[in-house]
Amino acid sequence: MSDITFHDLPLAEPLHRALGDHDYQTPSPIQAQAIPVILEGRDLLGSAQTGTGKTAAFALPILHRIHTRPRELKPREVRALVLVPTRELAVQVDRSFEKYGTYVDFRALVVYGGVGFENQIQTLNKGVEVLVATPGRLLDLHSQGCVDLSNVKVLVLDEADRMLDMGFLPDMRRIISLLPKERQTLFLSATLGHTIQSLAKSILTDPVTVSVAPPSSTAEKIEQEVLFVRSNDKADLLAHLLQKMDDDEVELMLVFSRTKHGAERLVKKLRQAGIQADTIHGDKTQVAREKALDKFREGKVKVLVATDVAARGIDVKGISHVVNYDFPNQPESYVHRIGRTARAGEEGKAITFCADEDMNVLWDVEKMIRQPITIRSDHPYHCEDLAEVHLGRREALKKITTQERPRRRNRGGGPVRVRKVF
């Protein structure tokens, strides 16, 4: 499907016109494979790393259905429901529907917590073709009798792995129980672990599986570096790196902090060093989060410090650097994080700070992505003893992967070799 264009896909004319407005000509692999399946009405289990165009893969077929099968809406009715884990992702998905549906007559609504109910309820009273929602707010609206889910024709579970990580499984099951059994379900995730596949199996009917990249893969154009540093020196190290970088070298930098308070402390430290930075996390109001994100998107602030939950829906062009200031708790999160850069074929750099408490997770990350991350030591806070420990692990692994184990024989009678990790 490498030579396919959007014109080869049987989408309605208004959608081709909108795609032309944005000079979108060639679909990404997930789009090229998923759109025909969804247009056929089949259930879909889709997996692709972040930044590969999953939103358009489901938004375009849904808009095609709305345009080709118009009908009057009942009060509080919803035709297509898109569930997402975070407010930021909800806004991002809603904007995508607005962009691709410029020439389609439809009503969409995005609902999430942290804002008042009044405007959301007023729009729902008219009925909507597309409802993009976070699980908690959707259940709140349903409990008040403000939304009717009994006629939903298409359900999309976007970033399903993150919804599970955030503890939304009970809410997801509750919402699914409110939907009609006769519907099309699209299950999209960056990873397809055992829990995800089990959930998908319970809600999908004879699905088509589309997986354009293995869950552990990272974007090819991301330059990855790890810097060994003591925990107390990390803020000084980040300020040092930023002060050494030219303005042309850093377009936008997204920095991941493990906690909300840690993010605020780091931004305070950066500002004291004369570096413009802002935060985005769950304790901020939605207005404050959108304001910080807009400043970042417009380049007024080049450094945005975010927690994992808040950053999940950030889709900003021009993020040249991702910094794992705090190491992610799970190796899979590393892939999600660095996927914020090098989007849509661009290049990017991922810088990871590794302190003593992060050594095991770093090891797990390298095993998962099956490649060593470049060690960078040209900074004043380099911790050589941690680097030596990690290099020692790598050398030990190399010996194990080439060592013959004579007590075990394969079926052909020869010695068994341990599978090479990288």
Q: Which domains does the chain have, with CATH numbers?
A: 6-211 (3.40.50.300), 222-383 (3.40.50.300)
The alpha carbon torsion through 124, 129, 134, 139 (nearest 10 deg) reads 50
Per-residue pLDDT, 289: 84
Contact predicate 96/90, CB 8 Å: no
Per-residue pLDDT, 197: 87
Confidence of residue 363 (pLDDT cuts 50, 70, 90): very high
Per-residue pLDDT, 387: 95
**Mutual angle of helices 13-21 and 54-68, in 10-degree steps:** 140
Assess whether pLDDT exceeds 90 at residue 353: yes
Mean pLDDT along residues 193-205: 88
Per-residue pLDDT, 138: 97
Mean pLDDT along residues 396-419: 56
Confidence of residue 403 (pLDDT cuts 50, 70, 90): low
Per-residue pLDDT, 416: 47
- In percent, the amount of the chain with pLDDT more than 70 equals 89
Q: For residues 34 and 87, which has the higher predicted lDDT (pLDDT)?
A: 34
Which residues, 6+ apart, have CB-to-CB distance to 249 below 8 Å? Answer: 320
| Mean pLDDT over the full length of the chain | 88
pTM for the whole structure: 0.69
Mean pLDDT along residues 265-285: 91
Residues 16-63 pLDDT 10s:
999 999 999 999 899 999 999 999 999 999 987 666 788 999 999 999
